[in-house]
């Protein structure tokens, strides 16, 4: 028996304040994509779906699990999990990682009909700070059964992909001397140093479709990279190698401040990167909130007023950010909030490979390594790490670190070659 | 913030100097027995868990609950267990997310068909509402299923899935309410037989005297057994499992592709939870390996896409693994250990212990408290392994 | 701080819920994750793991050297079943 559920797409007017716009002199739009079947969004070359949507004022593209709150992009670099949309019949795609193309059909997910009376607002308003799903409507039994049925219907995010476009796929297996994971400045520097002595090293960056490394499989003896459904062509590439360099950098962290989940709240780090990569500028009132030293630095870099998180009572807004409320009672109108918190080392792949991590104040769980850059690990390869993922701060320091570790890898490769 | 309580166990739960029953292992079996025993007797009970509750198989399985088995005693046991599941959330005071969406076993060859037809007959004789289903019926139940190459299926609408961690916490909470001391993050370094019972030495340096000990450590049971000179043939086997991205509900039953050993279900949160028997066998031995492989992902993906083509475009969210505590004849190992009768085995459930825990907890508790026998206890007796190898009586063990 | 502040936006876990989990005796990152659901959503804790760690440190519920992250499991990036199957679906027999 099939359970019916409300229409996925909203017909209400979206947030109409465009929060970004193209800079003067930017390329003109090459076409439009459509959101929810009727909102026309101009697309510029080199834009992501998120970039295009934010320029058109579409901020909220899904609803959260329990409290049914509007959700939209936050980290702007593929890590936070709340920019997921349906694109051309494929569910749960990261809008911030997909290149916007004219003619695309983008659909929000898990949204209910909006309007003057939105049942989701009732849930959000009625339930207090504590939605205890372990004990919610536990008794009597018939109510519990009904609650479970409703919960199931409201759960989940994407709907099944549209037939009959089941993707085709290929698998390629390669033997290489070294794999550098992460194409930021440290990774590029490491790769350059390694490439001085060998032609068979590879640099894998997840922004390149098919090069997203998802697993270090010691048992299978391979590094595995693949595709996430962005285009119709699915690929798996496995690499056999003797050396793996983790240069995966850092990602934004969430800051503990009330209202931090409103669409329009972005990580300062991600916001700056998006504006630069897509040649955009802010088109609405924006502020920076964060740990004082970080907020000051980002405020200066983005040329925005900044506030220490200790001085902020909450970020206000219904469907998206409308203002921030300070503890001293002042209310500052804003449609964009840039959060400035210490970033997190993207250490998952290193940890998969067995590298130890240690908690640091400034990058969370950073990968530990010896003075040569080697990480103690198990597996049919030597694991190395360089750059921000190990706690190195600053662009120049990351480049130097990448060069240093890459040279050490190159040395190791030469020594291995000499022995054989 | 209120001070932490011991409702779900804690590393500092005070332990008495002496208990009547010490249960080692804070998984669903140990806690189910603890809860039932505390309910029906005034025995002093402690549960000792070396990590957090449900850190073993109890926290890693797919939550499947079925009465579709191939052996009458297993069927009867699970009919009883499913009945308990129906009101367990209210009894334990925690949402268990038990959903009776059914189980659909699918057959692709004559051997699987024969096994299913026979088991359906056995189940129906015992009162189960299982039915044989043809290709058209299969497509009605799960429109996304490809019936190409599928011969027939067996469907029972009363089978279902449950959220495993909640069950463990529920039993722990209820046991604690009845006075059971639940100590977590504490291991047992030694168990020494004494004149009347045993003395346990814990990793913290504490000592605990117990008249009887229950070994509920599942895949890790060999370590404790061997230290007492008990040699039983159950061995740990690693089984891998994965969950997909969350999707709106579309899959009601848990589907088993019997011929390849694939199972897939959709949780209340919308993720597909799925695993498969690996053709080369599963890691076996005394060291429990809880890693994961790419080979598993690839083998499962092919089988899943063949069964439900729409899955090709869906994405994997997380993979992990859990241990099956495999008994050579597929039957659990429950009862007094050979040579050490006060040391009671509660192991060997060969990958299907979780769903049996409600009924087994009750049966074992009655035996511990009142010496009540039950036919299944005779069958599961640990002393049965003397002599020649026993054949498997159950042919519907999956995953 | 408002107890309805979200520390995990994928699974809607609030400060109040974290306090309740701690009140039940959940003190490690892994246990808190299981009890509240924090870190089990589409981002698998990429956004919220460090936020939880900082929250625990600030409240004296953990020490820097005592903190352990969740177990890191593949896939670190989303991957389709089709890519893993590694061949044209029509070729499957």
Answer yes or no: is pLDDT of B397 > 80. Answer: yes
CA distance C78 to chain A (A): 5
- Best residue in C3, C6, C30, C49 for a mutation probing chain A (most A CBs within 10 Å): C6
* From C10, C12, C69, residue closest to A357, measured CB to CB: C69
A237 and A371 in a single domain? The answer is yes
* From A1, A160, A220, residue closest to B247, measured CB to CB: A160
For residue C90, name the pLDDT band (cuts at 50, 70, 90): very low
Question: How far is it, in rounded angstroms, from Cα A214 to Cα A232?
Answer: 19
Question: How far is it, in rounded angstroms, from Cα B20 to Cα B23?
Answer: 10
* Closest alpha carbon to A59 in A44, A46, A49: A49
Of A124, A154, A184, the domain-final residue: A154
Which CATH number belongs to the domain containing residue A384 in this structure?
Answer: 3.50.50.60
Which residue range forms the structural domain that includes residue A391?
A: 168-250+344-419
Q: Is residue A36 part of a domain?
A: yes
Contacts of C82 in chain B (CB under 8 A): 301, 305, 312-313
Contacts of B167 in chain A (CB under 8 A): none
Contacts of C4 in chain A (CB under 8 A): 128-129, 258
Which CATH number belongs to the domain containing residue C44 in this structure?
Answer: 1.10.10.1100
Chains interfacing with C (3 or more CB pairs < 8 Å): A, B
- Best residue in A129, A227, A290 for a mutation probing chain C (most C CBs within 10 Å): A129
Burial of B232 (0-12, 13-18, 19+ CB in 10 A): buried
For residue C3, name the pLDDT band (cuts at 50, 70, 90): confident
In this prediction, residues C4-26 reach a mean pLDDT of: 92
Q: Please answer whether residues A150 and B240 qualify as being in contact, where contact means their C-beta atoms are separated by less than 8 angstroms.
A: no
CA distance A26 to chain C (A): 32
Question: How far is it, in rounded angstroms, from Cα A209 to Cα B33?
Answer: 52
A212 and A97 in a single domain? The answer is no
Question: Could B312 and C84 be called an inter-chain contact, meaning their C-beta atoms sit closer than 8 Å?
Answer: no
Answer yes or no: is pLDDT of A99 > 60. Answer: yes
A61 and A148 in a single domain? The answer is yes
A363 and A232 in a single domain? The answer is yes
Contacts of B314 in chain A (CB under 8 A): 91, 161
Q: Is residue A276 part of a domain?
A: no
Enumerate chain B positions whose Cβ falls within 8 A of a Cβ in C. Answer: 1-10, 52, 54, 59, 165, 169, 184, 244-246, 292, 294, 297-298, 300-302, 304-306, 309, 311-320
**Number of independent structural domains in chain A:** 2
A375 and A400 in a single domain? The answer is yes
The three-state (H, E, C) secondary structure of chain B, written as one string: CCCCCCCCCECCCCCCCEEEEEEECCCHHHHHHHHHHHHHCCCCEEEECCCCCCCCHHHCCCCEECCCCCCHHHHHHHHHHHHHHHHHHHHHCCCCCCECCCEEEEECCHHHHHHHHHHHHHHHHCCCCCEEECHHHHHHHCCCCCCCCCCEEEEECCCEECCHHHHHHHHHHHHHHCCCEEECCCCEEEEEEECCEEEEEECCCCEEEEEEEEECCHHHHHHHHHHCCCCCCCEEEEEEEEEEEEECCCCCCEEEECCCCEEEEECCCCEEEEEECCCCCCCEECCCCCCCCHHHHHHHHHHHHHHCHHHHHCEEEEEEEEEEEECCCCCCEEEEECCEEEEEEEECCCCCHHHHHHHHHHHHHHHHHHCCCCHHHHHCCHHHHCCCCCCCCCCCCCC
Other CB atoms within 10 A of residue A198 CB:
16
Give all strands (DSSP E) within A26-97, no chain letters: 31-35, 39-43, 62-63, 70-71, 84-87, 90-94
Of A154, A177, A193, the domain-final residue: A154
A88 and A207 in a single domain? The answer is no
User: pLDDT digits over B219-274, tens only?
Assistant: 999 999 999 999 999 999 999 999 999 999 999 999 999 999 999 999 999 999 99
In this prediction, residues C4-17 reach a mean pLDDT of: 92
Give all strands (DSSP E) within A295-335, no chain letters: 306-308, 312-316, 323-326, 331-333
Q: Is residue A333 part of a domain?
A: no
Nearest CA in chain B to A140: B90
Structural domains present in chain B: 101-158+236-324 (3.30.9.10)
Question: How far is it, in rounded angstroms, from Cα C73 to Cα A400?
Answer: 30
Q: Is residue C24 part of a domain?
A: yes
Rg (CA), chain C: 17
Contacts of A141 in chain B (CB under 8 A): 87, 89-90
A150 and A173 in a single domain? The answer is no
Answer yes or no: is pLDDT of A271 > 90. Answer: yes
Of A104, A121, A154, the domain-final residue: A154
For residue B80, name the pLDDT band (cuts at 50, 70, 90): very high
**Number of independent structural domains in chain C:** 1
A33 and A135 in a single domain? The answer is yes
Q: Write phi, then psi, for B91 (nearest 5 degrees).
A: -65, -45
For residue B117, name the pLDDT band (cuts at 50, 70, 90): very high
pLDDT of residue B317: 97
- Helical segments of chain C, H only: 15-23, 29-36, 49-58, 81-85
pLDDT of residue B302: 95
Encode burial over B365-392: b for 16+ CB neighbours within 10 A, e otherwise: bbbbbeeeebebbebbbbebbeeeeeee
Q: Is residue C42 part of a domain?
A: yes
* From C28, C80, C92, residue closest to B313, measured CB to CB: C80
A237 and A360 in a single domain? The answer is yes
Contacts of C36 in chain A (CB under 8 A): none
User: pLDDT digits over B372-396, tens only?
Assistant: 999 999 999 999 998 767 788 888 9
* From C2, C15, C43, residue closest to A81, measured CB to CB: C43
Q: Is residue A192 part of a domain?
A: yes
Rg (CA), chain B: 21
User: pLDDT digits over C23-82, tens only?
Assistant: 988 888 999 999 999 999 999 999 999 999 999 999 999 999 999 999 999 999 999 999
pLDDT of residue A83: 95
Answer yes or no: is pLDDT of B286 > 70. Answer: no
Burial of A279 (0-12, 13-18, 19+ CB in 10 A): middle
B246 close to A (CB below 8 A): yes
C86 vs B192 pLDDT, higher one: B192
Please report the ipTM that was assigned to this predicted complex: 0.93
* From A139, A156, A222, residue closest to B270, measured CB to CB: A156
Those residues with Cβ within 8 angstroms of residue A371's Cβ, 6 or more apart along the chain or in another chain: none
B163 close to A (CB below 8 A): no
A350 and A408 in a single domain? The answer is yes
Q: Please answer whether residues A172 and A236 qualify as being in contact, where contact means their C-beta atoms are separated by less than 8 angstroms.
A: yes
- Best residue in A60, A62, A83, A254 for a mutation probing chain C (most C CBs within 10 Å): A254
Q: Is residue A269 part of a domain?
A: no
Q: Is residue C34 part of a domain?
A: yes
pLDDT of residue A229: 86
Question: Could A135 and B99 be called an inter-chain contact, meaning their C-beta atoms sit closer than 8 Å?
Answer: no
Q: Is residue C1 part of a domain?
A: no
pLDDT of residue B73: 96
Which CATH number belongs to the domain containing residue A130 in this structure?
Answer: 3.10.20.440
Q: Is residue A308 part of a domain?
A: no
Question: How far is it, in rounded angstroms, from Cα A233 to Cα A168?
Answer: 6
C-alpha distance across the termini of chain A, in Å: 64
A193 and A72 in a single domain? The answer is no
pLDDT of residue A16: 61
A231 and A355 in a single domain? The answer is yes
Token match 């701690």: residue? C22
Question: How far is it, in rounded angstroms, from Cα B324 to Cα B220?
Answer: 10
User: pLDDT digits over B312-364, tens only?
Assistant: 999 999 999 999 999 999 999 999 999 999 999 999 999 999 999 999 999 99
Which residue range forms the structural domain that includes residue C17?
A: 6-91
CA–chain centroid gap for A47, Å, is 16
Q: Please answer whether residues B46 and B16 qualify as being in contact, where contact means their C-beta atoms are separated by less than 8 angstroms.
A: yes
């Amino acid at each position: 028996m099939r359970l019916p559920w409300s229409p996925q797409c909203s017909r209400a007017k979206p947030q109409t304040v465009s929060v970004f716009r193209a800079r003067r002199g930017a390329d003109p739009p090459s076409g439009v994509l459509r959101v929810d079947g009727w909102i026309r969004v101009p697309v510029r070359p080199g834009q992501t779906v998120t970039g295009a949507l934010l320029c058109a004022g579409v901020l909220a593209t899904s609803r959260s699990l329990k409290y049914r709150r509007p959700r939209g992009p936050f980290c702007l670099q593929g890590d936070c999990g709340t920019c997921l949309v349906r694109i051309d019949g494929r569910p749960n795609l990261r809008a911030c990682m997909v290149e916007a193309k004219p003619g695309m059909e983008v659909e929000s997910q898990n949204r209910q009909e909006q309007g003057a009376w939105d049942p989701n607002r009732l849930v959000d308003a009625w339930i207090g700070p504590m939605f205890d799903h372990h004990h919610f409507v536990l008794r009597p039994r018939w109510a519990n059964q009904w609650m479970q049925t409703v919960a199931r219907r409201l759960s989940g995010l994407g709907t099944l992909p549209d037939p009959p476009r089941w993707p085709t796929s290929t698998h390629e297996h390669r033997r290489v001397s070294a794999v550098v994971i992460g194409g930021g400045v440290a990774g590029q520097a490491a790769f350059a140093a390694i490439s001085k002595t060998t032609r068979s090293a590879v640099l894998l960056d997840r922004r390149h479709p098919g090069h997203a490394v998802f697993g270090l499989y010691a048992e299978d003896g391979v590094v595995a990279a693949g595709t996430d459904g962005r285009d119709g062509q699915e690929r798996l590439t496995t690499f056999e190698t003797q050396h793996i360099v983790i240069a995966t950098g850092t990602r934004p962290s969430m800051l503990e401040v009330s209202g931090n989940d409103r669409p329009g709240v972005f990580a300062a780090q991600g916001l700056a990167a998006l504006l630069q990569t897509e040649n955009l500028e802010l088109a609405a009132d924006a502020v920076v909130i964060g740990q004082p030293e970080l907020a000051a630095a980002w405020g200066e870099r983005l040329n925005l007023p900044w506030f220490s998180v200790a001085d902020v009572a909450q970020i206000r807004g219904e469907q998206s950010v409308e203002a921030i409320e300070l503890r001293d009672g002042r209310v500052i109108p804003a449609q964009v909030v840039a959060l400035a918190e210490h970033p997190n080392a993207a250490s998952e792949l290193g940890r998969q490979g067995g590298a130890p991590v240690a908690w640091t104040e400034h990058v969370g769980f950073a990968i530990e390594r010896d003075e040569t850059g080697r990480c103690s690990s198990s597996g049919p390869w030597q694991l190395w790490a360089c750059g921000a993922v190990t706690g190195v701060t600053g662009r120049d320091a990351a480049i130097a670190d990448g060069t240093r570790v890459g040279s050490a890898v190159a040395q190791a490769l030469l020594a291995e070659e000499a022995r054989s | 913030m209120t001070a932490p309580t011991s409702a779900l166990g804690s590393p500092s739960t005070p332990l008495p100097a002496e208990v009547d029953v010490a249960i080692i292992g804070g998984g669903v079996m140990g806690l189910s027995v603890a809860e039932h025993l505390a309910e029906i007797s005034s025995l002093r009970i402690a549960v000792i868990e070396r990590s957090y509750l449900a850190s073993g198989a109890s926290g890693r399985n797919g939550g499947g609950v079925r009465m579709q088995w191939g052996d009458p005693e297993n069927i009867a046991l699970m009919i009883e267990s499913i009945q308990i599941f129906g009101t367990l959330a209210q009894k334990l005071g925690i949402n268990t997310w038990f959903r009776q969406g059914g189980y659909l076993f699918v057959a692709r060859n004559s051997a699987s068909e024969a096994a299913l037809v026979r088991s359906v007959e056995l189940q129906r004789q015992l009162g189960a509402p299982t039915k044989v289903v043809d290709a058209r019926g299969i497509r009605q139940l799960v429109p996304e299923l490809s019936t190409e190459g599928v011969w027939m299926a067996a469907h029972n609408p009363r089978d279902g899935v449950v959220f495993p961690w909640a069950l463990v916490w529920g039993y722990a909470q209820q046991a604690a309410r009845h006075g059971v001391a639940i100590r977590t993050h504490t291991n047992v370094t030694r168990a020494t037989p004494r004149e009347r019972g045993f003395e346990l030495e814990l990793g913290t340096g504490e000592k605990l005297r117990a008249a009887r000990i229950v070994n509920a450590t599942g895949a890790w049971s060999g370590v404790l057994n061997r230290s007492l000179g008990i040699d039983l043939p159950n061995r740990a086997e690693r089984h891998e499992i994965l969950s997909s991205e969350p999707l709106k509900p579309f899959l009601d039953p848990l589907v088993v592709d019997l011929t390849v050993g694939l199972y897939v279900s959709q949780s209340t949160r919308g993720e597909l939870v799925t695993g498969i028997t690996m053709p080369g066998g599963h890691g076996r031995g005394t060291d429990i390996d809880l890693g994961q492989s790419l080979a598993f992902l690839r083998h499962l993906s092919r089988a899943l896409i063949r069964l439900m083509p729409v899955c090709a475009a869906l994405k994997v969210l997380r993979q992990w693994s859990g241990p099956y505590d495999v008994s050579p004849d597929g039957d659990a190992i429950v009862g007094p250990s050979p040579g050490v009768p006060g040391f009671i085995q509660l192991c060997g459930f060969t990958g299907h212990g979780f769903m049996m825990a409600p009924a087994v907890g009750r049966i074992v508790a009655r035996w511990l408290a009142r010496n009540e026998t039950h036919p299944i206890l005779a069958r599961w007796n640990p002393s049965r392994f003397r002599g020649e190898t026993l054949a498997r009586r159950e042919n519907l063990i999956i995953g | 701080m408002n107890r309805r502040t979200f520390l995990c936006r994928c699974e809607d876990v609030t400060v109040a819920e974290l306090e309740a989990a701690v009140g039940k005796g959940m003190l490690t990152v892994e246990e808190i994750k299981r009890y509240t659901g924090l870190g089990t959503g589409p981002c698998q804790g990429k956004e919220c793991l460090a936020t939880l760690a900082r929250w625990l440190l600030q409240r004296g519920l953990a020490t820097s050297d005592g903190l352990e992250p969740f177990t890191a499991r593949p896939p670190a990036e989303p991957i389709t079943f089709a890519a893993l199957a590694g061949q044209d679906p029509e070729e499957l027999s």
